[in-house]
Amino acid sequence: MDDTRNMTSSEKQMFSNDDSQRGKVVLAATPIGNISDASDRLKTLLATADIVAAEDTRRLYDLANRLQIHVNGRIVAYHDHNERDKSDSLLDDVENGATILVVSDAGMPTINDPGLAIVRRAIARQLPVTCAPGPSAVLDALALSGLPTDRFCYEGFVPRKRSEQLKKFRELQYETRTIVFYETPQRIAQTMKSLLEIFPANRPMALARELTKNYEEVRRSTISGIADSVEQDPPRGEIVLVIQGASEQEIHHISSALSIEELARLSLAYANDNHTRLKDAIAQILQDHPYPDGSLANKKTVYQTALEIKEL
């Protein structure tokens, strides 16, 4: 049976990936270091697209030179600052039958790079948009990290400001999926300090740098191990951080965090059973039941609550 019978023509076009067919947007991944990762499809598209929308036109010429390809189409600058304004006029050309190739400086467009604006506008205008996939540092680092790949979340660049770093890491403290961040050599030392403040020091993580290049390196250790290595041998070049998600044990720890009333009741029972002073019993119970971040409940509040329970 023909499943495409009830589709509009633009929906049907999504199933047709003949690059000689005109009138569409193609997002194409470019090498993230190793020029040999350029696909045949990328090379053909660079030579044949009517318009190439490039994040940086000089980088595009450099790529084309290295691939020994002549870009025959019109080249336009398409970057973070103009992508919203440019998208509709480029899509007018698509409507008139042009093929627009969108490329960023390296890797997959839209992944911390321009491209999303034209995808959204193409969808809104029901114009065909497709992808010539290829290198992207997220997947490369994730696959090489040795950490679980079945579920992961990509968080873009680690925030620059320390307060925002801590906020972001707190939000992700109990994320169970593997977490991937982009990072720069200038900020990695500070980032490792912030990670150590929030995450357990023994959480497995990997630091991948200069992927696909001559000095490719993947450091696999724990958060504290990577922090030490960053201090002793500061990593240069482009960096991806991959952090294992929270273990079931860590999650269990959070869900088993006791309320003040439960802590007070436990303390009363402990004092009774062991013939100790209530204050000493509370100190012991709080030590035995820390909060997930390692801190303890407030002694005075637990004491006050225990007295109230006793009076009932």
Interacting residues with ligand SAM (CB under 6 A)? 32-33, 104, 106-108, 111-113, 136-138, 182-184, 208-213, 238-240
CB of 31 to ligand SAM, least distance (A): 9
Please identify, using beta-carbon distances, which residue of 240 and 266 lies nearer to ligand SAM: 240
Cβ atoms of 60 and 54 closer than 8 Å: yes
Query: Closer to ligand SAM at the Cβ: 46 or 286?
Result: 46
Return the number of the residue (101 or 306) whose C-beta is nearest ligand SAM: 101
Least Cβ distance, residue 113 to ligand SAM (angstroms)? 4
Nearer to ligand SAM, 10 or 112 (CB): 112
The token pair at 75 is: 């080249």
The beta strands (E) that lie in the chain are given as 24-28, 51-54, 74-77, 99-103, 129-132, 152-157, 178-183, 204-209, 217-222, 239-243
**Beta-carbon count within 10 A of 122 CB:** 23
CB of 177 to ligand SAM, least distance (A): 19
Maximum separation of any 2 CA atoms in the chain, in Å: 89
Residue nearest to ligand SAM as judged by C-beta position:
107
Q: How far is the CB of 151 from ligand SAM (least distance, A)?
A: 20
What tokens appear for 12 in the block? Answer: 């049907």
In the β-sheet with 51-54, what is the strand arrangement from edge to edge? 74-77, 51-54, 99-103, 24-28, 129-132
Q: DSSP characters for 238-287?
A: -EEEEEPPPPHHHHHHHHTPPPHHHHHHHHHHHHHHHT--HHHHHHHHHH
**C-alpha separations of 293 from 82, 170, 199, 203, 251 in Å:** 44, 10, 8, 14, 11
CB of 197 to ligand SAM, least distance (A): 22
Closer to ligand SAM by CB, 115 or 204: give it.
115
Specify the residue, 209 or 253, whose C-beta has the smaller distance to ligand SAM: 209
